Amino acid sequence: MNRTAQPILEVNGLGMNFGGLRALDSVDLDVGKEEIVALIGPNGAGKTTFFNCITGLYTPTDGDIIILPPGKKRERINGVKPNLVTRRGLSRTFQNIRLFPNMTVLENVMIGRHCRTTTGIAGAIFRGRSTRREEKEIVDYSYTILENIGLEKSVNEFAKNLPYGEQRRLEIARALATEPFLLLLDEPAAGMNPQETEELDELIRKIRDEQEISILLIEHDMKLVMSLSDRIFVVDYGKKIAQGTPDEIKSNPVVIKAYLGEEIDA
């Protein structure tokens, strides 16, 4: 992938303290336009904390998170509330699936449309023409996304009744409904069987190619990471220890040490 000069997400020296614990220590990361970037690292390295900082669930202690949405101005989004981060075009999924279990598949995706629609209390009560049109648009848009993701068959099922792999995909569908320019996936392949992982690989590529969305993902499945990502960042104990293309990372001794615990003698 050709990287444009300006990254759409730029993280400089991000640090996060929980009391005395330094969960993240000056982590740098950048994502280019239409790029798939992976963030890997051993368990407890601070990957999800990193995601939570970017999406506004945590306010980072120091550092800068700067976004450049297409066609808009550069903006620093440290400490912006999660819903406003989503509005600005960063959308995420969760490591342990967080769907709305008692809502249908369609309704789950419709929630994603919330930040792109405007009907207020008065509109809801009087249900005028514009409200009805907006509702129809929400339903149609959501259904189109479900078709793209391949979940249209279970559109009226409750989210809790979906098989595990489909729940993961539904989370992606819901995130896409917010019209993001950057999609953050937190371990999308966790708990999937090899076939489902392969389908996920295709899906993520499809999202990138067809919708021109950049992707930042946390993942433990190395096969998926190596085949999918353009660049990889590695963190350990809250610090970035390496970055580069999949091939560079594969042969990087520091990364191997972090994963296996000791250096391999050649």
Partner 1 sequence: MINFSEIKKSLLVSLWFMFLTFPIMVIRVNTIENIVEWRWRNMVFIGVGSFLLSPVWRYLMKRKEYGLKKAEEGKEMQVSFARRILQERKFYIPGLIAAGLFSLAFPLTFSLYQTNIMVSALIFVMLGLGLNIVVGLAGLLDLGYVAFYAVGAYTYALLNYHFHLSFWIALPIGGAMGTLFGVLLGFPVLRLRGDYLAIVTLGFGEIIRLILENWNEFSFGPSGISNISRPSFFGMDLSVHGSMIFIYYIMIVLCIFTIFIVNRLQDSRIGRAWIALREDEVACQAMGIDKTKTKLTAFALGATWAGMGGVMFAAKTTFVNPASFTIWESIIVLCIVVLGGMGSVLGVIIGALILILLPEYLRAFSEYRMLVFGIVLVVMMIFRPGGIVSDVRRTYKFEGAGGKGGDE
Q: Pick between residue 140 and residue 202 the one whose CB is nearest to partner 1.
A: 140
> Is there a contact between 53 and 16 (Cβ–Cβ < 8 Å)?
yes
Distance CA 225, CA 217 (A): 9
Q: How far is the CB of 52 from partner 1 (least distance, A)?
A: 10
Footprint of partner 1 (CB under 8 A): 55, 57, 81-83, 86-87, 91-92, 94, 98-104, 106-107, 110-112, 114-117, 119-121, 123-125, 127, 131, 134-136, 138-140, 143, 155-156, 174-175, 178
**Based on CB atoms, which residue is closest to partner 1, 4 or 144?**
144
CA atoms of 125 and 145, how far apart (whole Å): 28
Q: Tell me the closest approach of the beta carbon of residue 246 to partner 1, in angstroms.
A: 29
Q: 3-class DSSP state for residue 189?
A: coil
Burial class (CB in 10 A: 0-12, 13-18, 19+), 232: buried
State the nearest-atom distance from the C-beta of 18 to partner 1, in Å.
17
The nearest distance, CB 178 to partner 1, in angstroms, is: 5
Residue with smaller CB distance to partner 1, 179 or 198: 179
For residues 152 and 201, which CB has a smaller minimum distance to partner 1 in the complex? Answer: 152
What is the distance between the alpha carbons of residues 241 and 233, in angstroms, rounded to a whole number?
A: 8
Shortest Å, Cβ 167 to partner 1: 12
The span from the CA of 45 to the CA of 234, in Å, is 9
One-character DSSP codes across 5-40: SS-SEEEEEEEEEETTEEEEEEEEEEE-TT-EEEEE
Q: Which is nearer to partner 1, 76 or 136 (CB)?
A: 136
